[in-house]
Amino acid sequence: MNTNHINEINDLFKELKGYGDNYLSNIGKGESNLPPRCKDIIKTEIPSKLVEFFPDDTYKIKGSIGIGRITKRPWITIIDKKVAKSAKQGVYLVLLFSKDLTKIYFSLAQ
C-alpha cells in the first residue's frame, strides 16, 4: 500500500471541504452552479485514486453529485462487479458526503 497515495486522497478530501458552503447553497440547482474542480474531485479524482485499493478489473467505482441537479448527499460507490451491477441492486460500499462536505460516512449499502 502506497502511503503517498493515501495522503493524496486525504488532501483531496481536505480540498473538497473548502467547497462546502458553495455546495450547500447550490443543492437542488443545476450542476453548472458548482465550481468544476469541486465536481471533478467527487466524480473523477477520488474515484481514480481509489482504484489502487479496489482494482477496476474487479470493482466499479463511481462518484456522483446528482443527475442534472445537485443532490443533498454526494457519494462515491465501490461496487464488486461479481456482487452487483449498479447501486440499484445488490450490496456495495459507499462513501457518503455530508451536505456541507465536511464529513464522510463509509457504509455498506443495499
Task: Please list the pLDDT of the chain residue by residue as tens digits (110 residues).
Answer: 578 889 999 999 999 999 999 999 999 999 999 999 999 999 999 999 999 999 989 999 999 999 999 999 999 999 999 888 777 778 899 999 999 999 999 999 88
* Contact call for residues 74 and 63 (beta carbons, < 8 A): yes
| CA-derived radius of gyration, the chain | 14
Q: Assign 24 to helix, strand or coil.
A: helix
* Contact call for residues 90 and 99 (beta carbons, < 8 A): no
pLDDT of residue 1: 59
Among candidate residues 83, 40, 27, 41, the one with its CA nearest the CA of residue 60: 83
* Contact call for residues 45 and 25 (beta carbons, < 8 A): no
Q: Assign 49 to helix, strand or coil.
A: helix
86-106 pLDDT, tens digit per residue, is 777 788 999 999 999 999 999
pTM of the model: 0.91
